[in-house]
Amino acid sequence: MSILVFAEHDNKSLKADTLKTVAAAQAIGGDIHILVAGSNCSDVVNEAAKVNGVSKVLVADNAAYEHQLAENISLLVTELAADYDHILATALTTGKNFMPRVAALLDVAQISDIIGVESADTFVRPIYAGNAIATVQSLDSKKVITVRSTGFDAIATDGSAEVVALDSVQDAGTSAHVNDEVSESERPDLGAAGVVISGGRGMQNGENFALLDGIADKLGAAIGASRAAVDAGFVPNDMQVGQTGKIVAPDLYIAVGISGAIQHLAGMKDSKVIVAINKDPDAPIFQVADYGLVADLFDALPELESKL
Report how far residue 167's alpha carbon sits from residue 68's, in angstroms, rounded to the nearest whole number: 17
Report how far residue 125's alpha carbon sits from residue 139's, in angstroms, rounded to the nearest whole number: 16
Residues 6+ apart with CB under 8 A from 22: 5, 32, 34, 51, 52, 53, 54, 155
* 287 C-beta neighbours (distance < 10 Å), count: 12
**DSSP strand pairing (54-61 vs 31-38):** parallel
Helix/strand/coil for 133: strand
Closest CA to 293 of 308, 274, 306: 274
Report how far residue 176's alpha carbon sits from residue 7's, in angstroms, rounded to the nearest whole number: 21
Q: List the pLDDT tens digit at each of the 308 positions of the chain.
A: 899 999 999 999 999 999 999 999 999 999 999 999 999 999 999 999 999 999 999 999 999 999 999 999 999 999 999 999 999 999 998 999 999 999 999 999 999 999 999 999 999 999 887 888 999 999 999 999 999 988 898 999 988 999 999 988 888 889 988 988 776 777 888 888 999 999 999 999 999 999 999 999 999 999 999 999 999 999 999 899 998 889 999 999 999 999 999 889 989 988 999 999 999 999 999 999 999 999 999 999 999 999 99
- Going along 39-91, which residue ranges are E strands? 54-61, 86-90
Check residue 189 and give its pLDDT.
Answer: 86
pTM to 2 decimals?
0.85
Check residue 113 and give its pLDDT.
Answer: 94
Helix/strand/coil for 149: helix
Helix/strand/coil for 195: strand
